[in-house]
Amino acid sequence: MGGGSALIAIDRIFLHERTGAAALNSMASANRAVVDPTRVFAVMDHIVDTRPGRGDKTMMPGGDTFITETRAACHAAGITLFDVNDPDQGITHVISPELGIVLPGCTLVAPDSHTCTQGAFGALAWGIGSSEAEHAMATGTLRVAKPKTMRVTFSGKLTARVTAKDMILHLLADYGAGGGKGYVVEFAGEAITALDMEARMTLCNMATELAAFSGIIAPDAATLDYLKGRRYVPDPLPDWGDLRSDDGALFDCEINIDASAIEPMVSWGTSPSHSISLLGTVPDNADVKALAYMGLTTGQRLADLAIDVAFIGSCTNSRISDLRRAATLVKSKKVAEGVLALVIPGSSSVKRAAEAEGLDKIFTDAGFEWRESGCSLCFFAGGESFPPGSRVISSTNRNFEGRQGPGIRTHIASPEVVAASAIAGKITVP
Amino acid sequence: MKPFTMLTSIVAPLPRDNVDTDAIIPSREMTSTSKTGLADGLFAPWRYINSAARTPNPNFVLNQPEYHGAQILASGANFGCGSSREHAVWALAEYGISCVIAESFAPIFYNNCIRNGIAPIALPRTVIGTLAGGAATVDLAAQTVNEHAFDIEAEAKMMLLEGLDAIDLTLKHRDATAAWQARDRAARPWIYLEKHP
Ligand code: SF4
């Protein structure tokens, strides 16, 4: 294309109700058709209600318009839609892998910044804006300037109770919210290959918090095992060849991290890079605005800080393995008095699987709410939020000012930390 | 799309790093499926003391009389990070901001600017400090803001200068992409799907 950019074929496109209707309606009004609707998917996840017995009505004022207009636009364009009460409904980045829509070596885009989650399968998956979504649907391509490459090698082994969430928060704390700006970040090394697919997704999910173009992990036997037999995965599995960086490949930037030195992490401020070890204290050079918003002071310990809400959900940490690990920590225990605790499964199929194992019962017996799948309280859509001023320990990915509602103070951490904190009523090492 | 060539305006300073798209336009301000009606929600968390009642916060830069009508915003590093919502750019454009000068930009936000005729200009922090609060002239063809030169990718520059729609540009290559796809279908048949059962 000249100017350093190339036209890239886009293999898979995913839409959601937050922006799906806007993109499809804008295309329709420009008389542009979706070039291959069989490779475009849509799901209701961002605004959809997560309370039992849900329909199109949501707590967000006017939210039903987004749902009904997206539904109509998807039907008109012939796009496969996982609707509100479809058994396959769920958060985009949870259901796309579940259904085998993302495949190694493919390109996948969605108008959502956490699309990088799906790089865990060795796909080039990245978030785009609405105009680019229209471009991808109308032409089957995107104009992309070749991103720079970075490799982050996690050598050694994680210690017990340290998770993929802690790995990425550790990286963010060290390299900052712009630390991967514009790079495709390959995560590699012994501690990465040792992760199961769901943990790899948690890690890649937050590549966008580094301002990366995307995150990616080379597919291996674990990847193929996960994908085999899923609905959109070819059977038999094709020969995907050797999809990995060449030995001796040169990266624009290389980072090495000793996995054995990573500790359970928690965020103190209003950027995911404002994170520290759970045993540490708020740094002396902490951003003043962030501290004021969070109601903290430098040198303060986060462990033992009282919480109002414990939230397990989001495309980062709401898959079945996340729920299993959290459940073991709340089994036969009770949520602390005065703490609101919720679990929002990442997909309707995760919810069914959890119920089949009795995880829902473990959570509800402990005093957690157990809901339908969706993005839910991961972000504030204008309707449901936590009680004003709440301090929330959350398994989500963003702790921006107001992210979970006006004035809400979000601390992000692994689902284990959230579960243990719910029981203790304060931020706790699991 | 309106071409962006030359712009002279007072530069409104927003000296913060990591201005995220939730701050530029909070989700609750995106109340319709259209690309318009967003200007009132721009920077709502900072611009209003009470968002619901729209009580202006006199300390916020765009509420100060000297910055009324500012078309250039100057900020810090990693501007536009967070959610991919293009509404952030639509809100800026509708409000009247045509150029954002920042130390760096989040990648999705940057692309969204180009697609909507807003010039995202990266300059060093020290230069931004000297521009903020004064009048500046952006000359995209010459790649300068006042006497300071900046870099911009050639295609992004061309699209802004000519107000080109990227889809129409790409559709000119329709024959080449169709031919590529025919070859790809043979090489990677698993990419191509039938209609969902
Ligand atoms: S769960 Fe949260 S971060 Fe993930 S897609 Fe939904 S709103 Fe975005």
The ipTM of this complex is 0.86
Q: What is the 3-state secondary structure (H, E, C) of A249-262?
A: CCCCEEEEEEHHHC
Q: Is the pLDDT of residue A124 over 90?
A: yes
Q: How would residue B81 be classed by pLDDT, with cut points 50, 70 and 90?
A: very high
Is any Cβ of chain A less than 8 angstroms from the Cβ of B84? Answer: yes
| Ligand 1 center to B176 CA (angstroms) | 36
Q: Considering only CB atoms, which chain A residues are within 8 Å of B86? A: 19, 111, 129-131
Mean pLDDT of A127-142: 95
CA distances (Å), A134 to each of A19, A146, A161, in order?
11, 20, 43
Q: Is the pLDDT of residue B196 over 50?
A: no
With the C-alpha atoms ordered A374, A379, A384, A386, is the resulting torsion angle positive or negative? positive
Contacts of A299 (CB under 8 A, 6+ apart): A281, A282, A284
Is any Cβ of chain A less than 8 angstroms from the Cβ of B146? Answer: no
pLDDT of residue A4: 67
Average pLDDT, chain A: 96
Q: Considering only CB atoms, which chain B residues are within 8 Å of A11? A: 191
Of all residues in chain A, the one with the smallest CA distance to B184 is A9
Provide the token pair at B56.
Answer: 């202006």
- B173: amino acid identity, one letter: H
CA distance A346 to A155: 30
pLDDT of residue A269: 97
pLDDT of residue A174: 96
Longest Cα–Cα distance of chain A, Å, equals 63
Q: What percent of chain B has pLDDT over 90?
A: 78
Provide the token pair at A200.
Answer: 């790899």
* pLDDT tens sequence across A224-243: 999 999 999 999 999 887 89
Provide the token pair at A195.
Answer: 């992760």
Contacts of A226 (CB under 8 A, 6+ apart): A97, A121, A197
Q: How many CB atoms lie within 10 A of CB A102?
A: 29
Closest residue to atom 6 of ligand 1, CA basis: A375
| Ligand 1 center to A88 CA (angstroms) | 17
Instruction: State the smallest CA–CA distance between residue A231 and chain B in angstroms.
Output: 10
* Cβ pairs bridging A and B (under 8 Å): 166
Q: Which residues of A339-352 are buried (b: 16+ CB within 10 A; e: fewer)?
A: bbbbbbbbbbbbbe
* pLDDT tens sequence across B171-194: 889 999 999 999 999 999 999 997
* pLDDT tens sequence across A262-280: 999 999 999 999 999 999 9
Q: How would residue B27 be classed by pLDDT, with cut points 50, 70 and 90?
A: confident
Residue ranges lining ligand 1, Cβ < 6 Å: A 45-46, 91-92, 112, 114, 314-315, 375, 378-379, 397
Q: What percent of chain B has pLDDT over 70?
A: 98
The two beta strands, A253-258 and A148-155, are: parallel
* pLDDT tens sequence across A292-342: 999 999 999 999 999 999 999 999 999 999 999 999 999 999 999 999 999
pLDDT of residue B197: 42
The two beta strands, A5-9 and A141-145, are: antiparallel
* pLDDT tens sequence across A358-393: 999 999 999 999 999 999 999 998 889 999 899 999
Closest CA to A215 of A225, A205, A224: A205
CA distance B114 to B159: 7
Of the residues A38, A79, A132, A412, the best mutation for testing chain B's interface (the one with the most B CB atoms within 10 Å of its CB) is: A132
Q: How would residue B72 be classed by pLDDT, with cut points 50, 70 and 90?
A: very high
Residue A101 CB burial class (10 angstroms; 0-12, 13-18, ≥19): buried
Which helix (H) or strand (E) element contains residue A267? Answer: strand A265-267
Instruction: State the smallest CA–CA distance between residue B27 and chain A in angstroms.
Output: 5
Least CB–CB distance from A38: residue in B34, B116, B195: B195
Q: How would residue A79 be classed by pLDDT, with cut points 50, 70 and 90?
A: very high
CB contact under 8 A, B23 and A60: no
Q: Which residues of A178-200 are buried (b: 16+ CB within 10 A; e: fewer)?
A: bbbbbbbbbbbbebbeebebbbb
Q: Counting atoms of ligand 1 from 1, which one is nearest the CA of A314? A: 1
CA distance A349 to A355: 10
Cis peptide preceding B45, ω within 30 of 0: no
Q: Is the pLDDT of residue A222 over 60?
A: yes
B100 phi/psi in degrees, rounded to 5: -115, 125
pLDDT of residue A3: 56
Q: Are A12 and A41 in contact (CB under 8 A)?
A: yes
CA distances (Å), A219 to each of A52, A195, A200, A225, A245, in order?
37, 12, 11, 10, 11
Is any Cβ of chain A less than 8 angstroms from the Cβ of B29? Answer: yes
